Amino acid sequence: MAQPIKVVVTGAAGQIAYSLIYHIAHGDVFGADQPVILHLLDIPFMMGVLEGVVMEIQDLALPLVRGVVPTADVSVGFNDVDAAFMVGAMPRKQGMERKDLLSANVKIFKDQGQALDKYAKKSVLVVVVGNPANTNAYICSKYAPSIPKSSFSAMTHLDQNRAQALLAQRLGVPVGNVSNVIIWGNHSPTMLPDATHAQVQTDAGLVPVPKLVNNDSWLKNEFVPTVQNRGAAVIAARKMSSAMSAAKAAGDHMRALWQGTPPGKFVSLGVISDGSYGAPKDVMFSFPCTVKDRVWKIVPNLSIDDFAKSKLAVTGKELSEEKEEALSVCQD
């Protein structure tokens, strides 16, 4: 069996981590043969709660767990880690947009970027979940200059899962039969969920989703806003933000990075933009990607129509503005 890898989860005493830790410990993310040492980082005030989480991890009796390190000290939490789930941040409440969290959360990602730079392995893969995820990932990477920018990504996989599930429901097919839905841009209501290149596995082979849906108005006027606003709908109902589904998505995101994407399939990742598809350069923009040997690549040459182009411009502008605001907050 492989040597254990060290995996840090920040915000380890919080809602998302409570589900995410199980996925990691159970082998759903790094593989059924990959032992893990869990580094659980939270703030000093939460150390009592974290003790309870550690007891529960012990009580899971899962064979892949080879160690648990609960801590409020970044030099311990990030020490020599191979993979990092950056969850620890304030969640939004009803009536807020995710970018309203920027001033409260972005400094956490500056500090923790510096700590990753100092203590983590240079090969670490970093997934940012805490909102506003794309801009926090940008800041985290900026303050960790010794780690390649391509090792940082922001999570839009929850939006991808929501989009995939909604299409499956509409078409009356199992969710696993739908693939290659794309999330473009920011993890915010300006994102573009795009079914243009999505496919359904049928007995007759792969069929394009737009052909099966056969209703452009539904795709533009119901599918897109439902996915864009799903986070707010969950908050309105639960009075807390998505946690179980966010944890599953964080595991899906890291699994795609760690284990690669199947042939012909894409995954949406918020990654440093090279200007592909007219996106602004040097922001963490969600693109369709393939992953091989832990290296992602933006899927090239997909057709995008005028509707998509106009939406990509809006979400790109928002990311550029968030970036400027975050940089000025970090200079304070």
Ligand X SMILES: O=C([O-])CC(=O)C(=O)O
Ligand Y SMILES: NC(=O)C1=CN([C@@H]2O[C@H](COP(=O)(O)OP(=O)(O)OC[C@H]3O[C@@H](n4cnc5c(N)ncnc54)[C@H](O)[C@@H]3O)[C@@H](O)[C@H]2O)C=CC1
Q: Please return the burial class of 67, using the count of CB atoms within 10 Å of its CB with bins 0-12, 13-18 and 19+.
A: exposed
39 is catalytic: no
| Whole-number Å distance between alpha carbons of 277 and 274 | 9
Tokens for 70, please give them: 């609960």
Write down the least CB distance from residue 234 to ligand X, Å. 6
243 binds, among ligand X, ligand Y, none (CB under 5 to 8 A by kind): ligand Y
# of chain residues touching ligand X (CB under 6 A): 12
Interhelix angle 133-142/306-331, rounded to 10 degrees, is: 50
Closer residue to ligand Y, CB minimum distance, 34 or 157: 157
Q: What's at 213, amino acid-wise?
A: V
Q: Which two tokens stand for residue 223?
A: 């599918």
Asked if residue 141 binds ligand X (CB under 6 A), the reply is no
Tell me how far apart the alpha carbons of residues 84 and 127 are, in angstroms, rounded to a whole number.
6
Residues 6+ apart with CB under 8 A from 248: 19, 23, 161
Does 23 bind ligand X (CB under 6 A)? Our answer is no
177 has binding-site annotation: no
172 is annotated as contributing to ligand binding? no
By C-beta, is 78 or 152 nearer to ligand X? 152
229 annotated as belonging to a binding site for a ligand: no
Task: Select from ligand X, ligand Y, none the partner in contact with residue 136, using the beta carbon and a kind-dependent cut-off of 5 to 8 Å.
Answer: none
| 157 touches ligand X by CB under 6 A | no
Residue 129 marked as a ligand binder: yes
Q: Which does 234 bind (CB under 5 to 8 A by kind): ligand Y, ligand X, none?
A: ligand X
Question: Least CB distance from residue 207 to ligand Y, whole Å?
Answer: 29
Find all residues with CB under 8 Å of 200, minimum gap 6, and list them: 167, 171, 173, 177, 178, 206, 207, 209, 212
Contact between 131 and ligand X by CB under 6 A: the answer reads: yes
d(Cα 315, Cα 321) in Å, to the nearest integer? 10
Provide the token pair at 144: 């960790």
Q: At 311, phi and psi to the nearest 5?
A: -70, -35
The interface region with ligand X, picked from 36-44, 211-219, 232-240, 308-316 by CB under 6 A, is 232-240
Counting every residue, how long is the chain? Answer: 332
Among 98, 110, 142, 323, binds ligand X (CB under 6 A): 98
Which stretch, 235-243, 267-275, 293-301, 317-325, contacts ligand X (CB under 6 A)? 235-243
- Specify burial of residue 2 (Cβ count, 10 A radius: 0-12, 13-18, 19+): exposed
Shortest approach of ligand X to residue 235 CB, angstroms?
Answer: 6
For residues 163 and 166, what is the distance between their CA atoms, to the nearest angstrom?
Answer: 5
The neighbour count for residue 250, using CB atoms within 10 Å, is: 27
Q: For ligand X, which is the closer residue by CB, 64 or 234?
A: 234
| Nearer of residues 78 and 85 to ligand X, judged by Cβ | 85
Contact partner at residue 155 from ligand Y, ligand X, none, CB < 5 to 8 Å by partner kind? ligand Y
Asked if 92 touches ligand X (CB under 6 A), the answer is yes
39 binds, among ligand X, ligand Y, none (CB under 5 to 8 A by kind): none
**Can you say which residues are annotated as belonging to the binding site for NAD(+)?**
42, 105, 129-131
Enumerate the active-site residues.
187
